[in-house]
Amino acid sequence: MTENSSQPQPFQAEVGRLLDIVVHALYSQKEIFLRELISNAADACDHLRYLALSEPGLGPQKYAIHLVVNEEEGTLTVSDNGVGMNREELQQNLGTIARSGTKAFLERLSGDAKKDINLIGQFGVGFYSAFMVADHVKVISKKAGDAATHCWESDGKGAFTLAETAKNLPGTDVVLRLKSEAREFLDEPRLKQVVQAYSDHIPVPIFFGEDESTRLNRAAALWMRPKAGITAEEYKEFYHHVAHAFDEPSLTIHWKAEGALEYTGLLFVPFQRPYDLFDPRRTGRVKLYVKRVFITDNAEGLLPPWLRFLRGVIDSEDLPLNISREMLQLNPVLARIRSGVTRRVLSELQKMAEEKEKYAAFWDKYGAIIKEGLYDDYDFRDDIFKLFRASSTKGEGVSLEEYLSRMPESQDCIYFITGDNAAMLKSSPQLEGFRARGIEVLLLSDAIDDFWVSAVGSYKEKPFKSATRGEAKLDDIKKPEEPPAERPPAPSTEALIKSLKEIFGEAVTDIRPSPRLTESAVCLVAGDGDVDIHLERLLRQNKALGYAPRRVLEINPAHSLIRRMAEMAEKGEKEPLADLGWLLLDQARLLEGEPLSDPRAFSQRLTRLAEKAVA
């Protein structure tokens, strides 16, 4: 296909599906198409304004967005003089999933699409909302600094064309041929109403018509206005613009720092968790401005990675306007801004924590990300600990202060267990002894939990201790109001342990009676110097551990099966004892989510024991 070809090219399959969903699921809010197109136009102007800092002749003298109506042809054009797009960018941004994120969006979308309307914008696919009101869309774009202009066209039914055309100045014109039921958007009063409702805060002037006689928005940077003069609705619409989102923010933080360092912050915590929150690049999405001039929406070092869920704007009065993105991370002023912004956000989150239900919803979405700060941000660790919440064997949303307040004086550590699911952890056999003695255990089910506890070590001089690692001396922990526990003497297991050690050989590192078990017969634990069980499994899954550590097998002397096995060991009944021993070891492995080392042998042993049971 030649450069000038206008032959139809098919959308990628995901884009075709997306168009169908957007047109049908979002039709009840059709006016949002204009908000999305204006936001894209404003972003294009911001990007060119930044590029023109280093190439003064690249941008126009004034940036503007024009809404041009042609009643005779039934078209509405959204025109900007921003950075524009070349042929490759038009094809990537509007025809494939390479930049739009539609594939990830469709993977998240389930059931009634209206429930997930807020996902549309944050996946960068707001442009497609144009097809809610248009049966044909044309995008004419000339990239700043390029000579060529290209035209992208589609009716939204499965294909698009892309060909060269002519345009005098850089920028983008999005031409919508409106459907008959959407011709209300040809009327100036209706357009003015939509712009003032959704885009009044856009810091680029929006005009009706090709000249500048009718201005539709105030075009004032919202974050620079006094808080007292900003309504909740204005904050919400600015959030929609800056985050490309459709939900409402669960927290708005607006302040101005004055003194040795001056900057303004307007940040939002999205109610809906951003789709890229667990992207391994851990990239932030807060826009950096200098004296109202956009610099970047990806300023490395502006916020710590564990606050990457925030959306909004930071505007500095002290950074140089001509600073490059590459030099930002080395700038000491940015480092000081980062510290100040982080401190302010932590303070606001601590206030939110006083509203238990609201904070529980926040922590459910962002707790795993916040805990990354416990691992890699020593300076703010104490403040992050104030935000920490976890499930435990005694409740939900437990803070570390609550945990410490319930600890008996004789308990010298904070017990925890890690795994993939808090509900399953709560029923883990390793916790039976803790529950029986009323000892609280934190149930940590995020992947980061295995790492921050080892990095932190302790909280207020109380070390963190895994309930599945090392020898548990639970009988030493007494509550002041309780008399010393009188437990019946356990039957002797010396002969059984000796026999099992001979049977297992090097399959386990040790076998010992368990203070952890009250109901189950056996469990596996890690030795004091070994990697914790769940962490070891994570490391092996990610090929970061090239071996499988052997474990300690703990047995419950009071369990009826262990008592019977102890009798068999004393009588020298080796063959049935071996079958039972291996079955119990395999059972303990299965409970830890481990694969069987020899499934065939497991099946044969199980069959032999079943045959004896029915004989």
Calculate mean pLDDT across residues 490-500.
85
Whole-number mean pLDDT of the chain?
87
Of 221, 189, 193, nearest to 205 (Cα)? 221
112: left (phi over 0), alpha (psi -120 to 50) or beta: beta
Highest mean pLDDT among 40-49, 97-106, 527-536: 40-49
Long-range pairs for 247-255: beta carbons < 8 A, 24 or more residues apart: 247/118, 247/271, 247/272, 249/311, 250/358, 250/361, 250/362, 251/348, 251/349, 251/352, 251/362, 253/312, 253/344, 253/345, 253/348, 254/223, 254/227, 254/230, 255/344
Long-range pairs for 270-274: beta carbons < 8 A, 24 or more residues apart: 270/122, 270/239, 270/243, 270/245, 270/309, 270/311, 271/118, 271/247, 272/118, 272/119, 272/122, 272/245, 272/247, 273/309, 273/365, 273/366, 274/122, 274/309, 274/311
Task: For the chain, list the domains and their CATH numbers.
Answer: 9-220 (3.30.565.10), 224-360 (3.30.230.80), 494-614 (1.20.120.790)
CB 350 within 8 A of CB 385: no
Of the given ranges (182-196, 225-239, 437-451, 478-492), which has the lowest mean pLDDT? 478-492
Of 223, 256, 251, nearest to 238 (Cα)? 223
Which residue in the block uniquely carries the two structure tokens 């474990």?
551
Provide the pLDDT for residue 17: 66
> Which run of H or E residues covers position 154?
strand 149-154
Of 189, 194, 192, nearest to 215 (Cα)? 192
Provide the pLDDT for residue 28: 55
3 state DSSP class of 175? strand
Of the given ranges (24-28, 120-124, 503-507), which has the lowest mean pLDDT? 120-124
457: left (phi over 0), alpha (psi -120 to 50) or beta: left
The torsion angles phi and psi of 553, rounded to 5 degrees, stand at -95, 120
CB 85 within 8 A of CB 93: yes
429-463: burial string, b at 16+ Cβ within 10 Å, e else: bbbbbbbebebbbbbbbbbbbbbbbeebeebeeee
Calculate mean pLDDT across residues 478-499.
69
C-alpha to C-alpha distance for 444 and 390, rounded to whole angstroms? 7
- CB under 8 Å to 324, separation ≥6 — which residues? 54
Calculate mean pLDDT across residues 536-542.
76
- Summarised one tens digit per residue, pLDDT across range 174-201 is 999 999 999 999 999 999 999 988 888 8
Of 132, 144, 184, nearest to 168 (Cα)? 144
C-alpha to C-alpha distance for 340 and 334, rounded to whole angstroms? 10
Calculate mean pLDDT across residues 101-108.
50
- Residue that wins the pLDDT comparison between 331 and 165: 165
Provide the pLDDT for residue 1: 34
C-alpha to C-alpha distance for 497 and 343, rounded to whole angstroms? 55
C-alpha to C-alpha distance for 587 and 109, rounded to whole angstroms? 38
Provide the pLDDT for residue 120: 46
**pLDDT at residue 101 above 50?**
no
Of 346, 339, 446, 442, nearest to 386 (Cα)? 346
Q: Which of the four pLDDT bands, split at 50, 70 and 90, describes residue 36? A: confident
C-alpha to C-alpha distance for 175 and 95, rounded to whole angstroms? 17
CB 119 within 8 A of CB 105: yes
DSSP string covering 357-386: HHHHHHHHHHHHHHHHHHHH-GGGHHHHHH
Amino acid letter, 159: A
**pLDDT at residue 3 above 50?**
no
Calculate mean pLDDT across residues 126-151.
92
Burial of 104 (0-12, 13-18, 19+ CB in 10 A): middle
Which residue in the block uniquely carries the two structure tokens 């020298």?
572
Q: Which of the four pLDDT bands, split at 50, 70 and 90, describes residue 537? A: confident
Calculate mean pLDDT across residues 540-551.
72
- Summarised one tens digit per residue, pLDDT across range 281-338 is 898 999 998 888 888 888 888 999 999 999 999 999 998 876 766 677 778 999 999 9
Tell me the chain's radius of gyration from C-alpha atoms: 32
Give every strand in the sheet of 263-270, ordered side by side. Answer: 249-257, 263-270, 311-316, 285-290, 293-296
Provide the pLDDT for residue 378: 94
Q: Which of the four pLDDT bands, split at 50, 70 and 90, describes residue 98? A: very low
Q: Which of the four pLDDT bands, split at 50, 70 and 90, describes residue 13? A: low
- Summarised one tens digit per residue, pLDDT across range 110-124 is 444 444 444 444 444
